Amino acid sequence: MKTEAIRIINEGTKRDLHLRLLGAIAFQTRCPNFNFLTTRLNRILSDIDFAGYSSESRQINGLMKDLGYADEPMVTALWGHRRMIWDNKSNGMHVDIFFDRLEMNHDISFENRLSIDPLTIPLEEMLLEKMQIVHLEEKDIVDTTMLLREHEVGGSDSEIIDANYIAKLLANDWGFYYTCTTNLKKVSDKLETYQELKQADRDDVNGKIQKLMKALDDEPKSFGWKMRAKVGSSRKWYRDVEEVRR
């Protein structure tokens, strides 16, 4: 499946298109030293997920058709401006493309961010992709653990998770901040149960979580953030995810 994903990206690059992996394959790709953790999940990968720009959607549609894919008409009719699903009957592959942003429990914008890495969305968006999930599952905790163990937290290098960038985003959105910090604590609590990790691994991930939490807490918050914080979780702070079924 990763081979097919790379094929699509490479063909897109030839056409000056910005298709970048997100989801499980992105984590497998960017965490080569620690993706062995996914074996505990017995995960079967069935979809290839991409981020793209809506300004390139017409060319992306042409690319996918040239590669033997057909779109899901109902999904295209309802959500085609922000999401499309493609199926290839010849190889059984399913491709999901999100345009401009990931709209789930919270929004993650891809604006001006898809040139940072040639294969995947940036590390910051990869982390936020998991941390925006209100009902976090074990696969999300494992992916987050892999990402934090594989990559340092700090500056703006493409192989380092930029804590300050994430902090600035969440300083304007209390709901996302609350979900993210809650989930970081869940990841930390779960680490002790992963016998595949050494204590040094757990200490490393915990240290990075604390570094992220400090950056999130230290960042000056917007007026809107402060007002929403006064209401807290007594009022719903996230969007329910609408399932897209084939």
Domain boundaries, the chain: 2-234
Question: Does the pLDDT at position 246 exceed 50?
Answer: no
- pLDDT, averaged across the chain: 92
User: Range with the lowest mean pLDDT among 8-22, 68-82, 116-130?
Assistant: 68-82
Q: Residue 205 in contact with residue 148, Cβ under 8 Å?
A: yes
The percent of residues above 70 in pLDDT, for the chain, comes to 94
For residue 22, the surrounding DSSP H or E stretch is strand 20-22
Of the pLDDT bands very low, low, confident and very high (cuts 50, 70, 90), residue 39 is confident
Tokens standing for 32?
């080569």
For residue 70, the surrounding DSSP H or E stretch is strand 70-71
Which one, of 90, 110, 105, 106, lies nearest residue 49 by Cα? 110
Question: Does the pLDDT at position 41 exceed 70?
Answer: no
Question: Does the pLDDT at position 139 exceed 80?
Answer: yes
pLDDT at 195: 87
Model pTM? 0.93
- What single-letter DSSP state applies at residue 120? B
pLDDT digits (tens, 9 = 90+) for 159-204: 999 999 999 999 999 999 999 999 999 999 999 998 889 999 999 9
